A and B are shown apart, each in its own frame.
Chain A
């Protein structure tokens, strides 16, 4: 049978620049490569700078995950300098990070992922009364009337007949892999639009605590937003009530729109519960400290590792067992390309050996991406919502077990269905539902603390560099919306001497290692994976988007010696 070579570049509806190449035979994918085609070198830039500034630099790794690098960086520096942030600051960070999760996951579903499952053009032929009936059976959301959906459909009709399709130009409309009835397509289109307005509102929580979004401000040692109920320029009752409203509206939308829609759509695509499973190992570093950041037994989403899809056992995680490989990446190690290095020994010497642009193919080359290959005890790991939910489920997390059980029951599938493209998308929904509830508890705790007279948001005991040791190193973990994140910092004489991040998309988009093990994107694409029309790679988009790629996060570099050496050998 003839092999077809497929290139999808750019992969759109993601953050950053990703290229997927594949080979197909008879409608199945037989081989796949994930290529990161952007490199920025931010960690090189960090050399010699004030460690208290690092959060702002690393935050600019990504404007979508605009909270996660900043907080991981603060935690790394605080770990190095022996700083414990006050409980209020920890709660505020949880609230800010929690809202990041909720907003990010909902945007991902409607604006980045939905068009893989929802045929916008098909919504034109829907019966709005039918859409209203479907909507009412799954949700009490007020915008469920026939009149409402007819209005949306009329706008859609005018849009299509006007001939200017804007961002919908050249979509794969009418592709046989689209399975939703027109009425459900119309429902999803209506909520695509509603979610745009919703996200603008709820993210204002970041603006209150951090001054703006994207890229709110953080602070090593706590948070800069002082609390004073009698102040006009501080966190006061007016601000807290505003936040309370946002959290309530976030929860309502998640429970009445996002989660019902996700489950309804999933019901039409159950075959995707057997597609795209890929790498069978899962890593969660855990997130949302409910005690101190080092009290890892009190993380709302627990820490741990699942091996070979075995949910009867959760293995411990030790950051010292993470190593990065560059066998397939455009870098060189001093000790040779076969070794793996822990981030504290990490080195990066970019050496581009790819073809001179413009190029047609990268598949088959020994080195083919800017992404390194992190491995845990030599194994590739999936990270993200599915890893977190699996680790929580296997750890006996009651709320997670209840939600996972409910959704599996509703879809009529067993736990094996979780190891799939659909499983990743469903896990994202489950954790959003849980966090939307948890936010209210964190805000309550913050209010109770203020009530009891504790308004402290910052620990300044180690703010001045004169209080720092001559050398120090620290590790900051964080489980971000897209998965396990680590920042490693070394400080010498008050300045950063080494900085390294291992990021969710580095784990998931990693290339082949020296053992020939595929990274999670690649392994998922060759796991029972269809591709009906190589010219219209809709199925590839489904699986890749189920990981929610964030490419700018994934690629980074720090040179061990501080020297910026870049060699380029263009083929």
Chain B
């Protein structure tokens, strides 16, 4: 990411002055804010308001701690797109602690953390990647001789906002899959006295992380979330409802085996295990790596990585949805039959209606898909 950038800010400079000095025109900036407004679900009309808020900002401190994790989430933010203006957005912050990028090591690194927390008490944004292993007194991850839990609790104390980035920080992810040998949990299991926003995914798309930070910086509050703490602007809709291959699902056109004639026509991946119908994620809209593609776009089924417990509920990954663990083969034929009838009759409309943000909870209670949907 461009967080370590040398794009310096003069002491009292605002983003507006900053952009001007960088030769970014007012028009370009407004255009960007319009796009950001759409991304955040506020509509392009919110552009001017966003622009006003962003331009008055100074660089707030961001402290990024990495606990039990694989660094994939940091890498994902490194790939965040929108080069020039996106960098500027990131440069709105001062990244004061980051294992992956900071020059100092050892006690100099820990001193930098202490300095940043003290100087920005109550004001800094805490970004957390990685889970917290609680088993056996926390000995499964230590940093500077202290447990991940102790590091997190201390850093959370003075934070103005906590952003849990990635499936590990959200709920524990792969190390928390059965049998969870280290007792790994997400941030919200440890920090209970403050709101934690879950920018989830394995990893999440880098742009979703930066957009969430932008939301906080602009409005002084974290964006609205679903019942699992995920920002609605990114996780409010199901992949299945936004999938470019949806028309093939509705038409009963499926890939039956990888690389068959249907795969070469770009048909629906539901029969080879796609979890898009049960997954709330921005992938089809944001896409990955600067809009290059996304998993289904590259011919592989969605594995549902933005959903809690997906390593257990979405596996085996190549089994068709109703057969996988989380969705229960125990459902009776009657329920499935009823759902099939609704699905068949209502088709696209039923799915479209189901995308309303306020219906997130209700939607989860419904059977996801009939087992025989689309079978010839």
Contacts and interface: CB of A to CB of B under 8 A. Distances in A.
Interface of A: 7-17, 19, 37-42, 44-45, 49-50, 52-53, 56-57, 60-64, 66, 111-112, 115, 120, 152, 155-164, 166-172, 189, 193, 196-197, 199-201, 203-204, 206-217, 219, 221-222, 224-228, 231-234, 350, 352, 354, 356-360, 455-458, 460, 463, 536-537, 541, 552, 557, 564, 566, 568, 570
Contact of B298 (A41, A115, A225): A225
Contact of A203 (B79, B112, B116, B184): B79
B211 interface: no
A463 B10 contact: no
A210 B10 contact: no
Contacts of B285: none
A19 B107 CA distance: 11
B264 A45 contact: no
Contact of A60 (B78, B139, B174): B174
A352 B107 CA distance: 25
B297 A41 contact: no
B258 A7 contact: no
14 contacts: A7-B145, A39-B140, A40-B140, A45-B175, A45-B179, A63-B203, A111-B4, A158-B10, A214-B76, A231-B265, A233-B297, A357-B146, A358-B144, A566-B136
Nearest to B295: A211
B139 A231 contact: no
A211 B136 CA distance: 38
Nearest to B9: A162
B294 interface: yes
A460 B2 contact: no
B98 A167 contact: yes
Contact of B105 (A8, A215, A359): A8
B2 A196 contact: yes
Given A42-B174, A211-B295, A354 B8 contact: no
A78 B20 CA distance: 57
B141 A60 contact: no
Contact of A66 (B72, B290, B298, B317): B72
A123 B277 CA distance: 53
Nearest to A51: B316
Given A41-B181, A226-B259, A541 B105 contact: yes
B102 A13 contact: yes
Interface string B1-31: 1111111111101000000000000000000
Contacts of A214: 72, 75-76, 79, 203
A10 B106 contact: yes
B72 A211 contact: no
Contact of B143 (A10, A203, A233): A10
Contacts of A557: 181
A44 B5 contact: no
Given A152-B6, A208-B298, A219-B300, A10 B109 contact: yes
Interface in B295-325: 295-301, 303, 311, 315-319
* For the complex of A and B, 10 pairs with smallest distance between CB atoms: A63-B72, A159-B8, A233-B266, A171-B103, A41-B181, A211-B295, A211-B298, A458-B259, A158-B8, A217-B300
A456 B301 CA distance: 19
B355 interface: no
Interface in B78-136: 78-81, 83, 94-96, 98-112, 115-116, 133, 135-136
Nearest to B138: A357
Interface stretch (B63-71, B155-163, B231-239, B335-343): B63-71
Nearest to B79: A200
Interface string B269-295: 000000000000001000011101111
Contact of B106 (A226, A537, A564, A570): A537
B217 to A, nearest CB: 15
B181 A189 contact: no
A211 B106 contact: no
B350 interface: no
A169 B78 contact: no
B109 A170 contact: yes
B137 A45 contact: no
Given A189-B6, A203-B289, A211-B297, A63 B139 contact: no
A171 B80 CA distance: 26
B177 interface: yes
Interface string B41-82: 000000000000000000100000000111111111011110
A56 B174 CA distance: 10
B229 interface: no
A568 B182 contact: no
A157 B72 CA distance: 32
Nearest to A212: B288
A211 B293 contact: yes
Contact of B83 (A39, A197, A354): A197
B147 interface: yes
A214 B174 CA distance: 15
B289 A200 contact: yes
Contact of A50 (B78, B141, B177, B316): B316
A337 B177 CA distance: 29
A101 B143 CA distance: 28
Nearest to A107: B78
A221 B260 CA distance: 13
Contacts of A228: 264-266
A59 B26 CA distance: 43
A388 B101 CA distance: 27
B105 A167 contact: no
B244 A233 contact: yes
A169 B104 contact: yes
B303 A56 contact: yes
B173 interface: yes
Nearest to A210: B298
A37 B175 contact: no
B269 to A, nearest CB: 9
Nearest to A465: B316
Given A162-B9, A200-B81, A214-B75, A207 B298 contact: yes
Given A9-B144, A39-B182, A566-B135, A213 B96 contact: no
A38 B68 contact: yes
B142 interface: yes
B245 interface: yes
A376 B40 CA distance: 54
A207 B327 CA distance: 29
B298 A224 contact: yes
Contact of A17 (B78, B141, B245): B141
Contact of A166 (B94, B283, B298): B94
A246 to B, nearest CB: 10
Contact of B71 (A16, A40, A209, A359): A16
B259 A222 contact: yes
Contacts of B96: 164, 166-167, 169
B336 to A, nearest CB: 23
A8 B179 contact: no
B150 interface: yes
B257 interface: yes
Given A41-B182, A568-B137, A9 B11 contact: no
Given A171-B108, A352-B139, 11 more contacts: A10-B106, A15-B70, A40-B175, A41-B182, A214-B79, A226-B264, A233-B245, A233-B297, A354-B139, A458-B258, A564-B179
A358 B103 contact: no
Given A161-B10, A164-B9, A167-B98, A15 B71 contact: yes
A168 B105 CA distance: 11
Contact of A57 (B105, B109, B174, B266): B174
